[in-house]
Amino acid sequence: MYSLRGWNPLAEASRRWFTLAAGVAVLALAVPWFQPGPYLLYAIDILIFILFAVSLNLLVGQTGMVSFGHAAYFAIGAYCAGILVVTAGWSMPWAFLAGPPVAAFAAFLVGLFCVRLTHAYFIMLTLAFAELIHAVVWKWREVTGGDDGLLGVQTMPPFDTPLGYYYLTLVSVTICLILLYSISRSPFGRICRAIKDNPRRVEFMGINVARHKLMAFVIAGFFAGVAGDLFVFFNRGAFQGIANWLTSAQGLVMVILGGPNYFAGPVVGAIVFKLLDSAVPKFTEYWLLVLGLILGATVLLMPNGIVGFLWGRRASRDGHG
Amino acid sequence: MDDTVIRTVNLCKDFGGLRAVDRVNLNVKRQEFRAIIGPNGAGKTTLFNLLTGYHRSSSGEIFFQEHNITRLPPHRVCRRGISRTFQITSIFQNFTAFENVQAAILAYEKRTIDLVVPAAGLFRERTGHLLEQVGLEGQAHKLASTLSHGDQKRLELALALAGQPQVLLLDEPTAGMAVKEKPPIVKLVSQVVKDKGLTAIMIEHDMDVVFSVAEKITVMHQGRVIAEGEPQAIRADEQVQAVYLGGEVHAEGRSPGG
């Protein structure tokens, strides 16, 4: 046979990934030792938004579906778990498990209407549904607490300390990222990227494109629900702001900043965004202006995001020997 | 009728006030190589879009092996065994040639809701074999967008073949190619069709290509079929010459049916 046999990019790629992942894991496990206290809380927050951004990128970067309403599923996961604890008196583990499936179901219902649309129409309709869900969260005071927020979401030992909750978050997010990574490499993920590239051809390969997109939408909603879940127990409550379009937009910013064409893109994007988000306001009150400049510069100078920029440079350096 | 693979009955398609396909009755037999010719705007591609479910017919019926497929969406038509290529090459530009074909095989094998197993390791043998069949074994790991025009056409053919079709619809397989590039592609197409025992319907403007492969020719003009028959008969048909062929066919002396 010809050269196909010896070619195994998978082994090559996974070796590189394994090294990287092991490094990150050691670092993540060690965070509490050299940075206890408030930084641990930052780390938890960052981890939650890493998961949120990566789940969004399953749609944006992989399937070419630019959802402007991803906050809805984050909020549904958060509020569902929170309400079950506060109102129904469930204990944390059960409420925690209930959040993501409910978020996925909501994504299924919304997706039924959205997945056949493309481009601006898809963006607008996902936004419209998300704002609808936001309005429900905001106005249905008896259930969600409305403006006052949903308060008193109790956790349980050992997760009621920052350290305990950090490890819960770290383990949950890591498991979810591994699952999402495997999805991105799976036949399902391959077809997602094929749909992004050329949906018509996928249709003519015998695939029901709308159904495939719906499935991606539901999976992304599920993992956003996990992130919301982690968020509500971390904050011991939920606030209507997490459901609004700004949260959706933040997710998109993280994806674009890091690089939508790379699995690690939104991970890096979320970290950079969150670090800027906490650092910049200390120096200036014009945080949004700074963010705008950074985003503009990123899009112009690094069209493939931070990861694309670094990866691309490395690739060309390798190319020169 | 038992030998008929594709049959249309009074097939029509209106776009607003324009009738793009007008009462077309097509009858294609098993393992036949049919060419559809006609000037631009004759409704050839629209006919393909109807046959593959991409457009919904305004009236009339389509039968595939005597099953009515008139209202099926494209992915169901494809599953029945009808594959197509497009006039403007339709492949996955951001995939390598190998990944392109692999994706098409995954689709055919209904492995696409698999969320766990890495796709890269699946059906490698078959993917390689199919690439070999269309002569792309040396280009397997090039990005599809970097392939030459001719190789992209080959790749698209491989994508169509991955679905193990019974009928192959080819929309101008040599469109946009230099004269020199055409014969190898034409040879490949006719070879594959013959080897796999496929039924082929081809839209083509290049008369050299048409007369070298077609066993039967359908001529369309303004949405209608104005002539149909063996290549010699079409060549001799005065109406066809008037609307389309002009004098060029007489001057050209290649034997048909090759």
Would residue A282 count as lying in a domain?
A: yes
Terminal CA-CA length for chain B:
26
Q: Which of A48-57, A142-151, B89-98, B106-115 has the lowest mean pLDDT?
A: A142-151
CB-based contacts of B16: which residues, under 8 Å, 6+ apart?
none
Paired tokens of B48: 């393909």
Average pLDDT, chain A: 88
Interface test with chain B among A205, A222, A223, by most B beta carbons within 10 Å: A205
User: Is 70 exceeded by the pLDDT of residue A74?
Assistant: yes
- Does some domain include residue B148? yes
The answer to whether residue A17 sits within a structural domain is no
B102, A212: Cβ pair inside 8 Å? no
Q: Is the pLDDT of residue B254 over 50?
A: no
Residues facing B29 on adjacent strands: B4
- B62 φ/ψ angles, rounded to the nearest 5 degrees: -125, 130
Under 8 Å between Cβ of B195 and A238: no
Identify the pLDDT of residue A1. Answer: 37
Enumerate the H helices of A62-146 as residue ranges.
Answer: 71-86, 92-114, 119-139, 141-144
At A259, list the tokens. Answer: 């690089």
pLDDT band, very low/low/confident/very high, at A25 (cuts 50, 70, 90): confident
Contact B74, B169 (CB under 8 A): no
**With contact defined as beta carbons under 8 Å apart, do A239 and A133 qualify?**
no
Question: Distance from CA of residue B170 to its chain's centroid?
Answer: 2
pLDDT per residue as tens digits for the range A193-210: 999 999 999 999 999 999
Range of the structural domain that residue A195 is part of: 36-319
Length of chain B: 258
ipTM of the prediction: 0.91
Q: Give the strand pairing for B224-229 and B216-221.
A: antiparallel
Is 70 exceeded by the pLDDT of residue A12?
A: no
B118 and A4 in contact by Cβ < 8 A?
no
Q: What is the rounded distance in angstroms from the CA atom of residue A223 to the CA atom of residue A56?
A: 9
Domain holding B109, by residue range, is 90-164
- pLDDT tens per residue across span B44-73: 999 999 999 999 999 999 999 999 999 999
Which of residues B108 and A156 earns the better pLDDT score? Answer: B108
With a cut of 90, say whether residue B132 has pLDDT above it.
Answer: yes
User: What integer is the mean pLDDT of B130-136?
Assistant: 96
Model pLDDT, residue B256: 40
Which amino acid, residue A133? I
Is the pLDDT reported for residue A309 higher than 60?
A: yes
What is the rounded distance in angstroms from the CA atom of residue A134 to the CA atom of residue A245?
8
Residues of chain A found within 8 Å of residue B114, distances taken between Cβ atoms = 186-188
Instruction: Please give the full DSSP string across A27-73, using - where no structure is assigned.
Output: HHHHHHHHS-THHHHHHHHHHHHHHHHHHHHIIIIII----S-THHH
Considering only CB atoms, A183 lies closest to which of B79, B107, B115, namely: B115
User: How much is the pLDDT for A145?
Assistant: 86
Chain B residue with minimal CA distance to A6?
B124
Query: Given a cut of 90, is residue B195 above it in pLDDT?
Result: yes
Chain B partners of A211 at a C-beta cutoff of 8 Å?
Answer: none
The position carrying tokens 């005065």 is: B238
Q: Up-side HSE of residue A114: CA atoms within 13 Å toward CB? A: 30
Cβ pair A277, A295 in contact under 8 A: no
Whether A205 sits inside 8 A of B116 (CB atoms) is no
pLDDT tens, residue by residue, B17-39: 899 999 999 999 999 999 999 98
Alpha carbons within 13 angstroms on the beta-carbon side of residue B241 total 12
Report residue B217's pLDDT band, with 50, 70 and 90 as the boundaries: very high
Contact A62, A189 (CB under 8 A): yes
Distance from CA of A210 to the nearest CA of B (A): 11
* Within-domain flag for B120: yes
Please answer whether residues A242 and A228 qualify as being in contact, where contact means their C-beta atoms are separated by less than 8 angstroms: yes
Residues with Cβ within 8 Å of residue A318, at least 6 apart in sequence: none
A10, A203, A212 member nearest B120 (Cβ):
A10
Nearest to A187 among B92, B106, B138 (CB): B106
| B163/A contact by beta carbon, under 8 A | yes
Count: domains in chain B: 1
- pLDDT category at B203 given cuts 50, 70, 90 is very high
Domain for residue B117, yes or no?
yes
Q: Is there a domain that residue A95 lies in? A: yes
DSSP state letter for B96: B
Question: Is residue A44 one of the residues assigned to a domain?
Answer: yes
Read off the pLDDT band of A94 (50, 70, 90). very high
Q: In this predicted model, what pLDDT tens digit does every residue of A117-141 receive, in sequence order?
A: 988 999 999 999 999 999 999 999 8
- Kindly report the CATH number assigned to the domain that includes residue A243: 1.10.3470
B189 occurs within a structural domain: no
pTM: 0.90
- What residue of B is the nearest CA neighbor of A219? B115
In the numeric block, which tokens belong to residue A152?
């008193």
A-side interface with B, Cβ within 8 Å? Answer: 1-4, 7, 9-10, 182-183, 185-191, 193-194, 197-198, 200-209, 212, 215, 219
Digit-coded pLDDT (tens) for A219-258 = 999 999 999 999 999 999 999 999 999 999 999 999 999 9
Q: Is residue B249 part of a domain?
A: no
Mean pLDDT of B168-193: 93
Q: Is residue A16 part of a domain?
A: no
Tens of pLDDT along A279-302?
Answer: 888 888 888 888 889 888 988 999
Is residue B10 one of the residues assigned to a domain? no
- Residue B251, pLDDT > 50, answer no
Probe site for chain A from B54, B80, B94, B112 (most A CB atoms < 10 A): B112
Q: B235 or A48: whose pLDDT is higher?
A: A48
Tell me, yes or no, whether B139 lies in a domain. yes
User: How big is the A-B interface in CB pairs under 8 Å?
Assistant: 109
Has residue B190 got a pLDDT over 50?
yes
Chain B residues with beta carbon closer than 8 angstroms to that of A9: 120
Tokens 């940075």 map to which residue? A35
Q: Does B236 touch chain A (CB under 8 A)?
A: no
Phi-psi region of A145 (alpha: psi -120 to 50; beta: other; left: phi over 0): left
- In angstroms, the separation between the Cα of residue A71 and the nearest Cα of chain B is 24
The reply to whether A30 falls in a domain is no
**Predicted local distance difference test score (pLDDT) of residue A215:** 97
Q: Kindly state whether residue A18 falls inside one of the protein's structural domains.
A: no
Judge: B140–A207 Cβ closer than 8 Å, yes or no.
no
Separation between Cα atoms, residue B214 and residue B201, nearest integer Å = 9
Q: What is the mean pLDDT of residues B167-172?
A: 96
Report the distance separating Cα B227 and Cα B36, nearest Å. 10
Task: Domain count for chain A, please give it.
Answer: 1
Stretch B175-198: mean pLDDT, rounded? 93
* B11 part of a folded domain: no
What was the pLDDT predicted at B250? 43
Residue A37: partners with Cβ closer than 8 Å, 6 or more residues away: A162
Interface contact B103-A204, CB threshold 8 A: no
CA–CA separation, B43 vs B226, rounded Å? 12
